[in-house]
Every structure is written in structure tokens, then in C-alpha cells.
Amino acid sequence: MISVTYLSNTQGYCPVEAPLLREKIESLLDKRPVIVRVSSREIHLYTPTPIGRREEEALRRRVAPPSSQKEPACPGRGVSRVLCRYTALIQLERYWEAHEVGEELWKLGFPAGQLMAVWAGVLARAQEGDLGAVETILDRVLPVVASGQAGVGVPLDPGRLREAAYQVIACSPATVPLLTLDPPLLSYRRK
């Protein structure tokens, strides 16, 4: 089980700073491993065990206060509800959670679910400032996924996804069409 903690990004951290932020947070958590993802609004911490009250206070003092954002409310049922949740998570820049929703759609038999999972997964890795992982997914995984997209009806543009990932890492403005029935625009901007 993975514990997720959301902190407000009040200091204006960028994904390119995620590796240094991870080192700082791991030292505050007594070397407990943590995955750090940085969005324009939040810092997402994924740990193998929940963060305790004393650790949370140390994080608040040295990194950022807890986030007050809530999970998106999505009406409807079935695939339409899951699609709504995917779109809402993308708009909140919670790409890893959107990746998991894409996988859920794929398991439900929604044809574009696999592409949606990969798309959000690349952006989640970009939030970690992990250029190597982004390139691996783009070079190895995307061609395999793209070759199986017959009948999906959603074009995959690896060049555009690569550009979006680099812009997320660098905290530059980016607008990327997403793989949903009613594609929203994703914007990533520095405070």
C-alpha cells in the first residue's frame, strides 16, 4: 500500500527541482523512500507508510503546508464517470492518479484507456523531473502502444507528448490536447 500526501506548492517549486526536493524530504523522513512529484499547485509525496504527525510538522516548517484541494466530484456512472474523473485529475495536475484511472478505463474495455494511461504516466514522470524515465517511456513504450491503437480513433502524437513532458519538467507554459472523448486543454504555468 502506498500513502499519498499533498502539500501546497507555496514556494513555487518546479518539477526540475523534484530530485533535490526528494533528498530534502527523505532526510526529514529519516531516509524513508519517497517519490516526489511537483505540480504548479501541489507537491505530491508517495511513501510506503503514512507520514506521522511529527514528520508532517517538519514538512510544514521546512517544505510547505498541507494542501486543501479536494478530490474531484464526478457525477454519472460507468465509463462516463471514470472519464470525468480522468479529466478532472488532469486539470488538477494529478497525473499519476489520472494514469491509474486510464488503466481502469483500459481494464473496463474502453479502447483509448491504454493511451490515456501512457499519456498521463509520461506527464507524471515529468513531474518527478526524471528525464531518463520520460525518454524510456517515449522511446520504448509509446511505439508498442501506438502500434495497437487500431480502432481507437484517437491519434497519438509522440512529438507533442515529448514537448509537453519537457515543458512540465522545465515549468514552462504548455498546452496539450488530452486523450478523452471531450478533450480539455491542460495548462501548466509557473506561479
Mean pLDDT for 29-36 is 90
pLDDT band for 43, please (50, 70, 90 cuts).
very high
pLDDT of the residue at 90? 85
pLDDT at 40 over 90: no
pLDDT of the residue at 100? 92
> pLDDT of 57-95, one tens digit each?
888 888 888 888 777 777 777 777 888 888 888 888 899
Task: Give the pTM.
Answer: 0.81
- The DSSP result for the chain, as a single string, is --EEEEEE-TT---GGGHHHHHHHHHHHTTT---EEEE-SSEEEEEESSPPPHHHHHHHHHHT-PBP---PPP--S-HHHHHHHHHHHHHHTT-HHHHHHHHHHHHHTT-TTHHHHHHHHHHHHHHHTT-HHHHHHIIIIIHHHHHHT-TTT-----HHHHHHHHHHHHHT--EEEE-SSSSPPEEEE---
> pLDDT of 125-150, one tens digit each?
999 998 888 888 888 877 776 666 54
